[in-house]
Chain A
Amino acid sequence: MKVRVDVMLKTGVLDPQGEAVRHALGNLGFDGVEKVRQGKVIELDLADGTSKEDVKKMCEKLLANTVIENYAIKVL
């Protein structure tokens, strides 16, 4: 079973890396890029039957820092 976890900075937390990417896109001539947020994608290969509850715990304990980040779990 494959699970994908998306980790993104919470709304309101300034994302300097996303901001730098937005700038660079502007420099390349792509007008109208109003906002860029950069996050992480983590793919997990899990034993069948692993509960969503366990994946949630993985996110809370390690994969995301919930002080500044949100996460979303997707079973692929």
Chain B
Amino acid sequence: MKAGVIVFPGSNCDRDLAVAFERAGAQVKMIWHKETELPDDLDIVGVPGGFSFGDYLRCGAIAAQSPITRSLIKHTERGGYAIGICNGFQVLTETGILPGALMRNANLKFICKPIDLKVETTDCDFLSGYEKGQVITVPIAHHDGNYNVTDEKLAQLRDEGRIAFTYLDNPNGSTGDIAGVISKNRRVLGMMPHPERCVDEKHGGTDGVAMFRSLVDSVVAA
């Protein structure tokens, strides 16, 4: 199982994400944003958290136009796996790979704390290690995590079972309490909370482990 982690100027969770993949048994390659092609043999591409390009214009907007991101779009169109966490989620929505947009938190504050999430579906290789309805605790750390979709799109996401996680106590004003969504083919996950920040006892929790492990297991079994 081979994972790639894209590094933009201003990414700061890239190494944590690499460690989370490695712990789950993946071989990880770091990929600088100026590369024009992803290696062909990658099973999954991770878009890490941070402040790519200083959050200029809109969070993730400039990264979404990076050369490597064009290759990421092709990878997802071919049915490749991808995960975008925090700023990575913002990048995935800016590219249109995932629906919606992430706006400034409703209370205008940067929020950094562990938070309870409800697992809304397990019909996804990232989520099959959890139980539907399970509550997990994962840290959030963002200023722009207020997920915005139209009512029609929200209804569609619900119908198609594409809401991955909801907040038990909505911290940022997100529509439908949404903390993470998956793509139509269920192979791309975007989420504001940081599962890579809870994969070790020393992190204060290990609820993120199941996500990386179930993904690696699914890919290896396939």
Residues of A within 8 A of B (CB): 13-14, 16-17, 20, 61-63, 65, 67-68
Contact = CB atoms under 8 A, between A and B. Distances in A.
Contacts of B104: 16-17
B103 interface: yes
A16 B93 contact: no
Interface of B: 57-58, 61, 65, 93-94, 99-101, 103-108, 146, 148-149, 173
Do most interface residues of chain B lie in helix, strand or loop, or is the interface mixed? loop
A67 B61 contact: no
B108 A68 contact: no
B107 A16 contact: yes
B65 A68 contact: no
A62 B107 contact: no
B57 A68 contact: no
A65 B108 contact: no
Contacts of B148: 13, 67-68
B57 A63 contact: yes
Given A67-B93, A68-B148, A16 B65 contact: no
A17 B65 contact: no
A63 B94 CA distance: 11
A26 to B, nearest CB: 16
Given A14-B173, A16-B107, A65 B101 contact: yes
A20 B149 CA distance: 22
A68 B103 CA distance: 9
A63 B99 CA distance: 18
Q: Which of B99, B103, B108 has the most CB of A within 10 A?
A: B103
Contacts of B146: 16
Contact of A67 (B100, B105, B106): B100
Nearest to B65: A62
B108 A17 contact: yes
Contact of A20 (B61, B99, B100, B108): B108
B85 to A, nearest CB: 20
Q: Which of B65, B93, B148 has the most CB of A within 10 A?
A: B148
